[in-house]
């Protein structure tokens, strides 16, 4: 889980995108777009992602890895992780390589979406970024996924058409 920001042309405003990636299938399970990004937004994204994957307290849950941004070091986020029964792992300061999957996604997002669009308003941001997120999850082909999109890989995994192999991220 990580935060990225972009600029709205001519307004002096920035927007924020908080994304949560499944490092196994590269799906951005949930994300937040807004003119701000709070601990409450991070908690909502985490809860939504768990619900979308039908994961609940008591099950074997994934580890959530973040940097040390204010949303993630907040008491609210810590309490939310604890109440959900999820382990929160914060990477050491100045080590973005330890959160490489989300950093890689944000690089792709910058290259293929943010840098080629001149956002004129937050509504424009929402339209363009939402469309890109649909493309990324459903059409963007990953070499590491056998040239499948994240959603296609996830569906194949769920239908047991491919076999998952364990790895440590």
User: Among the listed ranges 16-30, 60-74, 123-137, 145-159, which one has the minimum average pLDDT value?
Assistant: 145-159
Lookup: tokens for 25: 């299938």
What percent of the chain has a predicted confidence (pLDDT) above 90? 82
In this predicted structure, the answer to whether residue 168 has a pLDDT above a threshold of 60 is no
pLDDT at 115: 97
Instruction: For residue range 111-151, list pLDDT tens digits in order.
Output: 999 999 999 999 999 999 999 999 999 999 988 888 988 89
- Which pLDDT belongs to residue 158? 85
**Can you give the pLDDT at residue 29?**
97
Contacts within 8 Å (CB) and 24+ apart, 30-33: 31/133, 33/125, 33/126, 33/129, 33/130
pTM beyond cutoff 0.75:
yes
The radius of gyration computed from the CA coordinates of the chain, to the nearest angstrom, equals: 16
What pLDDT does residue 149 have?
86
Return the HEC string of the chain: CEEEEEEECCCCEEEEEEEEECCCCCCEEEEEEECCCCHHHHHHHHHHHHHHCCCCCCCCCCCEEECCCHHHHCHHHHHHHHHHCCCEEECCCCCHHHHHHHHHHHHHHHHHCHHHCCCCCHHHHHHHHHHHHHHHHHCCCEHHHCCECHHHHHHHHHCCCCCCCCCCC
The residues spanned by each domain of the chain are 2-54+97-158
pLDDT, the chain, mean: 93
Q: Are 60 and 50 in contact (CB under 8 A)?
A: no
pLDDT of residue 156: 87
pLDDT in tens, 77-117: 999 999 999 999 999 999 999 999 999 999 999 999 999 99
Predicted confidence (pLDDT) at residue 74 exceeds the cutoff of 80: yes
């Amino acid at each position: 889980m990580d935060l990225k920001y972009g600029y709205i042309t001519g307004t002096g405003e920035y927007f924020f995108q908080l994304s949560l990636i499944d490092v196994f299938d590269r799906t951005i399970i949930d994300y937040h777009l807004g003119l701000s990004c709070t601990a409450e937004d991070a908690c909502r994204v985490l809860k939504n992602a768990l619900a979308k994957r039908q994961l609940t307290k008591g099950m074997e849950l994934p580890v959530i890895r973040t940097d040390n941004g204010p949303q993630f070091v907040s008491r609210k986020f810590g309490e939310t992780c604890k109440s959900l029964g999820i382990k929160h792992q914060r990477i050491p300061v100045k080590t973005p390589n330890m959160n490489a999957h989300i950093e890689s996604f944000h690089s792709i997002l910058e290259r293929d979406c943010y840098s080629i669009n001149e956002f004129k308003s937050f509504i424009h941001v929402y339209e363009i970024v939402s469309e890109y997120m649909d493309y990324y999850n459903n059409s963007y082909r990953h070499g590491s996924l056998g040239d499948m999109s994240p959603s296609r890989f996830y569906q194949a995994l769920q239908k047991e058409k491919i076999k998952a192999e364990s790895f440590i991220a």
